[in-house]
A and B are shown apart, each in its own frame.
Chain A
Amino acid sequence: MTAQSHSLTRATNKSRAIRRTYAGVVPAEINRGTPGHIPVAIIGAGPVGLAMAGELASRGVSSVILERAHTSSDGSRAICWSKRTLEILDRLGVADRMYAAGVTWSVGRVYAGNTTTPLYSFDLAPMKAQKFPAFINLAQYHVEEYLVDQLTSQSEIDLRWQNELVALGQGAAGVTLTVQTPAGTYRLVADYVVAADGCRSAVREMLGLHFEGRTFEDHFLIADVRMRAPWEAERRFYFNAPFNEGRTALMHQQPDDLWRLDFQLGADIDREAALQEKNVSAKVEAMLGPSIDFEYEWVSLYTFQCRRMRQFVHDRVLFVGDAAHLVSPFGARGANGGIQDVDNLGWKLAEVLRGDAPRRLLESYDEERGLGADENIGHSTRATDFMTPKTPAARAFQSSVLALAVDFPFARALVNSGRLSTPCTLGDSTLITADTTTFATPGMQPGAVALDAPVHCQGEPSWLLHLLGHDFVCLVFGATVPSALPPRVRLVVVGRDFIDTHGLVAARYDGTPGTVYLIRPDQHIAARWRHPHPEQIRLAWQRGLALT
């Protein structure tokens, strides 16, 4: 920071100053002296911790969020929110606000050398007619603010700013937490702790746990700039960027004329020099061209890691988001992966706390989101290795792939500028029942997230995912309804409970009469059949709750 010039420091200070500040909370426990007992303590009020509290509250589970700071996060964090994240956050009531405020995009353009004609473009939302687009861009602090606005009025959620976890002990009765506040220190006992405290997780440290995986040497420069620019809302990725000494660069539009620019700098750099304004501006001006005026909003350097904890479940402590796994930013798999952790863990924790499912169901969080983390880390690592070839052979392959990609579609499939976040398919999970007949649903097999589709309900336009909600659901096509359903499974009959106005539900689910889908509370498909016997449904439901 010392080498940063005045205007960059001013920009950073200004963007820090506009963050929302919240009043510190002095909890009742401080004066009472005896530790309170709560079902769930969530450590960290980032997007993942906040969403976790909302998800649990929607299932009637109370939680306390402990957050050491008293502001939303500062610049240079997540900006790309995926369709699946929006679908999940829609259940918490914040996705419409995000969608309205964010910049919608689905097209990515990839350039190599030439900055006027893209090498190729891709559309991340080939299947339209879903409630949410492939991606919206919105600064992380706005998402946090919307979540806080939505959650603070809910009686199940106790959000405690300036409450820092300083010690943690696991015992038979639960987890004892020691919390420090400006007004003093107190203790809490929680049945479960959800650690959502980010890449430098204090909870992970306290338990003596570690990350495993790779760290990368490459430095990247982030510049968030305000400017009036004529470009479309697209993701633009540059290989061999002439304005960045032949390295890579990335451009994303955010709302309010804010743009994120990301420049690869290389491995051995002078960090202080890289942050000097004349050096930053030389890059930014070379990228934008001479005719565009801009103002800095945020400038920083980063390096990244592709690492994870070996286990996300440690007795009564459950790790989510960056506390559990880290990826590079290329692919938008960090925050979106964390929100999928919430989606997977929320219903399981609620079932176990209610006593409706065994503790084994929580172990399946580790199995299923371990799969998701490995998938994200794999994509992230491969993208990074493509972008930054580390051997002469790797450089030759990259160079040839980019040259071939000009004319040949096959080579474009090998160009890797980041594979953008899609929901993980849990096909091999022990909770999922495999198909016994064939379905013509490309990409949507048991374990996949149920696809959205436009429908009509009670005369009003609606969306299938909204109607599926957050319970176990039996989605039935045709007039014959299963004669018996397992407990707490909601029946949704196509044509009776909603009208498949455009026939897209039948088409996307290959829903011939007699087709039945069992869909989990996180909207992943647990099993599906043609004309199932009620016993088949019961067995798949038991399996889905780890009851067998």
Chain B
Amino acid sequence: MITAANIEKPDEFYAALVELHAGLDGQESLRLNAALILLLANQIGEAGVLSEILQVARQVLVSGSGEAEPTAATAQLV
């Protein structure tokens, strides 16, 4: 698994990723992300790498070091 920065133009990519979800409801966003993951996984291909990525993603969700507690004000933005 590559952990060093490897995305060309990371800011532009991130902005495009967020923009992709513009106007979608929660369920649609989930489906969009699912499609994205499947496409990216196929691009990666290697079973060992994919397996490692699955585990890391789950661990990050559990540890959640950067998780924001949604506040009243940010909730209003939804």
Residues in chain A near residue B69, CB distance under 8 A: 240, 246
Whether A292 sits at the interface, judged by CB under 8 Å, is no
Inter-chain CA distance A224–B63, complex, in Å, is: 36
Inter-chain CA distance A404–B62, complex, in Å, is: 11
Contact A414 B10 (CB under 8 A): yes
Residues in chain B near residue A412, CB distance under 8 A: 5
Inter-chain CA distance A400–B33, complex, in Å, is: 13
Contact B68 A239 (CB under 8 A): yes
**Distance (whole angstroms) from the CB of B68 to the closest CB of chain A:** 5
Residues in chain B near residue A114, CB distance under 8 A: 65
Residues in chain A near residue B21, CB distance under 8 A: 391, 393-394
**Distance (whole angstroms) from the CB of B7 to the closest CB of chain A:** 7
Residues in chain A near residue B67, CB distance under 8 A: 113, 240, 399, 402-403
Contact B24 A390 (CB under 8 A): no
> Which of A196-204, A296-304, A378-386 is near enough to bind chain B?
A378-386
Contacts A382-B14, A410-B2, A410-B7; is A395 near B66 (CB within 8 Å)?
no
User: What is the chain B residue whose CB lies nearest that of A413?
Assistant: B5
Whether B6 sits at the interface, judged by CB under 8 Å, is yes
Whether B38 sits at the interface, judged by CB under 8 Å, is no
Q: Which of B1-54 contact A (CB under 8 A)?
A: 2-7, 10-15, 17-18, 21-22, 24, 26, 29, 32-33
Contacts A391-B78, A392-B29, A410-B3; is A385 near B15 (CB within 8 Å)?
yes
**Distance (whole angstroms) from the CB of B16 to the closest CB of chain A:** 10
Inter-chain CA distance A416–B17, complex, in Å, is: 14
Contact A392 B33 (CB under 8 A): no
Contacts A268-B73, A382-B11; is A401 near B66 (CB within 8 Å)?
yes
Inter-chain CA distance A204–B74, complex, in Å, is: 35
Contact B15 A268 (CB under 8 A): no
Contact of B63 among A382, A398, A401, A403 (CB under 8 A): A403
Contact A395 B11 (CB under 8 A): no
Residues in chain A near residue B66, CB distance under 8 A: 112-113, 119, 239-240, 399-406
Contact A409 B76 (CB under 8 A): no
Contacts A112-B65, A399-B67; is A246 near B74 (CB within 8 Å)?
yes
Residues in chain A near residue B2, CB distance under 8 A: 410
- In the complex, per-residue mask of A226-250: 1 if CB is within 8 Å of any chain B CB, else 0: 0000000000000110000111000
Residues in chain A near residue B11, CB distance under 8 A: 379, 382, 414, 416, 419
Whether A266 sits at the interface, judged by CB under 8 Å, is yes
Residues in chain A near residue B60, CB distance under 8 A: 400, 403-404, 407
Contact B73 A414 (CB under 8 A): no
Residues in chain B near residue A406, CB distance under 8 A: 63, 65-66
Contacts A385-B15, A393-B24; is A246 near B5 (CB within 8 Å)?
no
**Distance (whole angstroms) from the CB of A302 to the closest CB of chain B:** 17
Inter-chain CA distance A413–B12, complex, in Å, is: 11
Inter-chain CA distance A422–B3, complex, in Å, is: 27
Whether B71 sits at the interface, judged by CB under 8 Å, is yes
| Residues of B in contact with A, size category | 35 or more
Whether A22 sits at the interface, judged by CB under 8 Å, is no
Contact A395 B70 (CB under 8 A): yes
**Distance (whole angstroms) from the CB of A378 to the closest CB of chain B:** 8
Contact B61 A395 (CB under 8 A): no
Residues in chain B near residue A266, CB distance under 8 A: 71, 73-74, 76
User: What is the chain B residue whose CB lies nearest that of A400?
Assistant: B60
Whether A267 sits at the interface, judged by CB under 8 Å, is yes
**Distance (whole angstroms) from the CB of A405 to the closest CB of chain B:** 7
Contact of A395 among B3, B33, B56, B74 (CB under 8 A): B74
**Distance (whole angstroms) from the CB of A202 to the closest CB of chain B:** 34
Contact A416 B14 (CB under 8 A): yes
Contact A247 B71 (CB under 8 A): yes
Residues in chain A near residue B33, CB distance under 8 A: 393
User: What is the chain B residue whose CB lies nearest that of A406?
Assistant: B65
Q: Which of A492-541 contact B (CB under 8 A)?
A: none
**Distance (whole angstroms) from the CB of A66 to the closest CB of chain B:** 39
Q: Which of A406-440 contact B (CB under 8 A)?
A: 406-410, 412-414, 416, 419
Contacts A393-B21, A408-B3, A410-B6; is A267 near B64 (CB within 8 Å)?
no
**Distance (whole angstroms) from the CB of B27 to the closest CB of chain A:** 10
Contact A395 B68 (CB under 8 A): yes
Residues in chain A near residue B78, CB distance under 8 A: 391-392
Contact A391 B22 (CB under 8 A): yes
Inter-chain CA distance A391–B6, complex, in Å, is: 26
Contact B10 A397 (CB under 8 A): no
**Distance (whole angstroms) from the CB of A213 to the closest CB of chain B:** 15
Residues in chain B near residue A400, CB distance under 8 A: 60-61, 66
Residues of B within 8 A of A (CB): 2-7, 10-15, 17-18, 21-22, 24, 26, 29, 32-33, 56, 60-61, 63-71, 73-74, 76-78
- Which 5 pairs from chain A and chain B are nearest by CB? A402-B66, A266-B73, A393-B21, A413-B5, A403-B66
List 10 additional A-B contacts (Cβ < 8 Å) besides A246-B70, A401-B66. A113-B66, A113-B68, A240-B66, A240-B67, A247-B71, A247-B73, A247-B74, A392-B78, A408-B3, A419-B11
30 residue pairs A–B, Cβ–Cβ below 8 Å: A112-B65, A240-B69, A245-B71, A246-B70, A246-B74, A266-B73, A267-B77, A268-B73, A269-B73, A379-B11, A382-B12, A382-B14, A382-B15, A385-B15, A388-B74, A389-B74, A391-B18, A392-B29, A393-B29, A393-B32, A397-B14, A397-B17, A402-B66, A403-B65, A403-B66, A404-B60, A406-B63, A409-B3, A414-B7, A419-B11
Residues of A within 8 A of B (CB): 112-114, 119, 239-240, 245-247, 265-269, 379, 381-382, 385-386, 388-410, 412-414, 416, 419
